Structure 1
């Protein structure tokens, strides 16, 4: 019965989304407060209905209700509870339900936390968000019903794809969806601003916190997905330039550009057209990624569906929302007034250059991802665009971005002094040069790794240069330092940490140049050296899991004759799926990792092993955590809320709605 009510809840949610996509927007057009007031309450009701539907599907998975087709195809009664829950979104139908749930979460959040927002802007935002929700609810109900019943339920399910039976899957997709589906709210703000004509600093102030929330979640989601691929797929890498990986990277690049652009628009009321365009672009790239994953146009471990009918439906949604928003943008952009002026050498100018580099990087990834698909569709010729292309095009564009970040922070608003900014970065530049010289003398090795480590040190120290200047401007006394520390906005600290996190990630990436790899056959008792460590393979033992059996290759890691860690790489076999996968053994030693995966296990315990030593590799994901922490600090800054409330009251006072 719960399953049926979940299905009905989706139908009711569709009806409410259709109502909310028309009534509030019409109310905003004619200035009727009663019609506009419908939007928040309907958004909250829609969230409740979609949340209940998601609960109903989760309940069916947890209780192993095999009368449901979705549960049969993606679950098993012996599967651990965490994978029963994560299996809800480990398939196409369930993941689409999570998609619309995230849409409704952001709509409900705007409804709850938008009391200071102008009524017409809020009505239009929630109306546009309802358009998106209605389209995807219709897609689910017509092509991807997660509540389809079976007339004759089997006694047992087919289990979940073994690659997805991992704790990372319980974290990665929800975070990723909160990120790139969360960008729908920036799209809704942009479309609402174009509809209402309210494109000003207040718009930038309102859209920036939502963009920041989506950016934080997307940063964490990409990092978690990277680490999941690293330790689950058994190939020892953390980024493959897979089209579906690129599909999440492109919105992240666009959202990063949008965050910086809204800052300029808020401070100077400049770059209005560009800000609106980026808000549309970020979510448009999310829609393109959804099409890639679910249309069947590519094969990937990340891809969910291969039904062409679903692909055509999503393509229609993509054309409707991208084409519609760009048409509205083209119609309205010419009427926008020029904002505040600024000199090319200024913080605004640096942010513009930052935007150009980020969008060029995004365009590079877009072309490299979609060109093979377009070529195959037009000519039938199959080519692959992999790491060599992206490394040759993406890295040269990103290095200037790293060099620019501290300089941009050191420049003044409106008109800056490049020489003075460079002087403020003396310590950061010195730190980068010292790191390069020290590494060249002690390690040698790849020149690119040496240079990138120096750049990373420069970025990390440079990220805090402006913060340090503001803290120590009045002298080093502890009392004055404490007052200035308390007085500085958290946004300043957040910016410094977010930029430093990018430098930390770059340091982890650069250090992989000093890593080592060995592919070898091992028999019990063999010892192999990798980097500064010796690995002794002790043999194979069997172990039984809840819904799998595995062969574990216990291996001791020594340095100087002392055991530092014991790892247990394994191969797991899942009888229900008739599939197997490798489980890497990883030991984090310092900030580096020893990584080992095994295959072709013989009865006598001989194995083929792939072994890596990856110095400082943990910095890659630590950097992402620092970035997200910086974003959280900025989001917690009360100036977001206070500034919005003050400016919104001024706008409302200047542009009152007609009386009822």
Structure 2
């Protein structure tokens, strides 16, 4: 009965989404206040129905209702309750329902926290988000019903959840990633609403900017968790491998980063209005493209879900409608709202424009590398593989090109600046960054030119931010010197740029200084790696809630002192018989020690063992956390809460300010 309630609630949610799409849009067209006023209530009702549906699916998993197809395929009675819960979105049907729930959450949040928006704008925004919900809820009901039954042949037990997904990181990673993915629908909805009204000004950018910051922050943290999971769960010690499905989330992040900076210019100076709208469309379109890639069966990956071409066709048609319709509207309305504000090439605007260009080019290079094998295969030109050599060769130089300008942008002025002032302000930070690049790599095993370059770029960003910070708190900016005068937007920018600097150092240091040994070891033997002695003590059998494992026990010594005890495992899951590697890691701020077990070798108790020394690998994830926190802090700025009072609805046919 519970699945039927969930199915019916999902149908009601789709019905409310249809009403939300049509009625407020008609009200905005006719200037009918009553129709437009229904939008917030419809958004809340849609959320309630989809939430009930999601809860029903959770109950089916937790109660081991194997008459439900998706439960029988992705759960098992031996599965711990926490993984039964995460198994709800560890499959195509459930993850799509989670996607729909998060979309409804964003829609309801806009309805709840945008009371100061003009009713005309709010009704259009919610109508656009309702239309997106119609697409995804229809997709769920028509091609991916999570409540389909296996009647009358109900299995005695389920097939179990993929062992790779039985991990705490995978409990949090998909919801965070989806919050970012789906969150860009808000920026998209504001952009379409602004085009429909012919009003692209600072108010529109101010309304859209906090939602975009939150979505970007969630996506940043989601990608970080995915990288962390790949590092410790897959057993190979890597943190990123340019998998197509990873690229599917990375591309919206790159476009979203460009959108964040473009919105800042539009809000402050009224520039880049048409360009900002196009970036909002582009970011959300890439989110839809990522959905198509993951759920269409065109990709083979541990992250991919569906293999049904019909599902892929549905999303492809939906993607064509969304992208084609929005670009058509953009072509019709964007020329009428183009910017007419000038600026010097030596100004903050020009640097943010360069930022946009670099991030857009980076997005397109990743998009090309991801789609090229698919396009060539579809054209019958054979199987192609585009891997890390391509992506590293084209992506890394672009990020290196951008870093120097990140140190200049914070101290630059709007509209017009001068090279002489830049030189005077940044001479000392430049010398300090150069000194760090010369000296800091000397503390490593050997001087590495790539690490020196990374330190130079990161230190340049950090010292540039420090120079700007001192400029503001010392009162030289003309606004009086006080920490209280620094806005949350500024603190968010500082954290974001510092996080980027930390990521640069972490990526390059761990790439250049990592050491890996693959060897055969027996209990009683030891191996030295990067000054650490790994002693193989014993192998012991252990049993978990739904697996049995061989656990190798190691002791790690440094200069004769025991510093860690590590216990990697080779697990065999009881339900499906899958064999998985569970790595053991001794984490640290400046290095990780990492052990993964391979297969038993011979009859003397020997095992294939992989030892890793990973310097500064944690800096990448700490940097991403800083960037995500920066995004969240930015929305605390009071100017996002002090919106102008809701204006009366103008009569039909009235002209809008442009």
Calculate the TM-score normalised by the size of structure 1. Answer: 0.96
Is the contact between residue 506 and residue 616 of structure 2 (CA under 8 Å) also seen in structure 1?
A: yes
| Matching residue of 1:509 | 507
Q: Are 1:331 and 2:332 matched, yes or no?
A: yes
The alpha-carbon deviation at position 532 of structure 1 amounts to 2.5
What CA distance in whole angstroms lies between the structure 1 residues aligned with 2:485 and 2:576? 59
Q: Distance in 1 between matches of 2:83 and 2:425?
A: 52
Greater relative CO (CA pairs within 8 A, separation 6+): 2
SS of corresponding position for 2:89: coil
Match of 1:531 in 2: 530
Q: Which residue of 1 aligns with 2:289?
A: 288
Give the match for residue 450 of structure 2: 448
Post-superposition shift, 1:632?
1.9
**Pairwise CA distance, 1:440:** 4.8
Question: 260-269 or 376-385, which moves further after superposition?
Answer: 376-385
Q: Do 2:255 and 2:360's aligned partners in 1 also have CA atoms closer than 8 Å?
A: yes
Deviation at 1:47, TM superposition (A): 0.4
Q: Determine whether 1:254 maps to 2:255.
A: yes
CA displacement, residues 155-199 of structure 1 (integer Å, 9 cap, x when unaligned): 211110000000001110000000011111111111111112121
Gaps of 5+ in 2: 654-658
What's the counterpart of residue 75 of structure 1? 75
Structure 1 residues 332 and 558 mapped into 2: Cα distance closer, same or farther (>3 Å)?
same
Q: Secondary structure at the match of 1:299?
A: coil
Q: What are the residue-to-residue correspondences of 1:589-608 with 2, within 5 Å?
A: 589-602=588-601, 604-608=604-608
Partner SS, residue 577 of structure 1: coil
Q: Secondary structure at the match of 1:139?
A: helix
What residue number does 1:308 align with? 309
- Structure 1 segment 557-636 matched on structure 2, within 5 A: 557-602=556-601, 604-636=604-636
Match of 2:471 in 1: 469
Question: Displacement of 1:463 after TM fit?
Answer: 2.5
User: CA deviation digits over 1:183-238, x for unaligned, max 9?
Assistant: 11111111111112121111100110010010000000000000000000011101
Measure, in 2, the Cα distance between the counterparts of 1:391 and 1:463. 27
**Partners of 2:344 and 2:160 in 1: CA distance:** 61
**Structure 1: 5+ residue runs without aligned partners?**
none
Sort the Cα spacing of 1:117 and 1:80 in 2 relative to 1 into closer, same or farther, 3 A: same
After superposition, what is the alpha-carbon deviation per residue over 1:63-85, rounded to whole angstroms, capped at 9, x for unaligned?
Answer: 11111111111111111111111
- Equivalent positions of 1:353-432 (< 5 A) are 353-432=354-433
Tell me the CA shift for residue 657 of structure 1. 4.7
Structure 1 SS opposite 2:79: coil
Residue 423 of structure 1 deviates from its aligned partner by 2.8
Corresponding position of 1:105: 105
Counterpart of 1:488 in structure 2 is: 486
Local SS of the residue matching 1:601: strand
Answer with 385-394 or 183-192: which moved more: 183-192
- Deviation per CA, 1:317-359, whole angstroms, max 9, x where unpaired? 1111111111111111122242322111111111001000000
Contact 1:258 1:279 (C-alpha < 8 Å) held by counterparts: yes
The residue number in structure 2 matching 1:84 is 84
Paired with 2:297 and 2:220, the residues of 1 have a C-alpha distance of 26
Query: Is residue 441–residue 448 contact of structure 2 (8 Å, CA) maintained in 1?
Result: no
Q: Under a length normalisation based on structure 2, what TM-score does the superposition of the two structures give?
A: 0.96
3-state DSSP of counterpart to 1:37: helix
Q: Contact 2:588 / 2:618 at 8 angstroms: preserved in 1?
A: no
Q: CA deviation at 1:460?
A: 2.2
Bigger shift: 13-22 or 598-607? 598-607
User: What is residue 227 of structure 2 aligned with on the other side?
Assistant: 226
Confirm or deny: 8 A CA contact 2:199 2:337 kept in the other structure. Answer: no
Q: Secondary structure at 1:21's aligned position in 2? A: helix
Match of 1:500 in 2: 498
Aligned to 2:150: 150
The whole-number CA distance in structure 1 between the counterparts of 2:426 and 2:7 is 59
State the partner residue of 2:4: 4
Q: In structure 1, how many angstroms separate the alpha carbons of the residues matched to 2:531 and 2:431?
A: 30
Does the Cα contact within 8 Å between 2:346 and 2:416 map onto a contact in 1? Answer: yes
Contact 1:467/1:493 (8 A) holds in 2: no
Give every structure 1 segment of 4 or more consecutive aligned residues whose post-TM-superposition deviation is greater than 6 Å.
none
- Residue aligned with 1:22, SS: helix
Deviation at 1:474?
A: 5.8
Which residue is 1:58 aligned to? 58
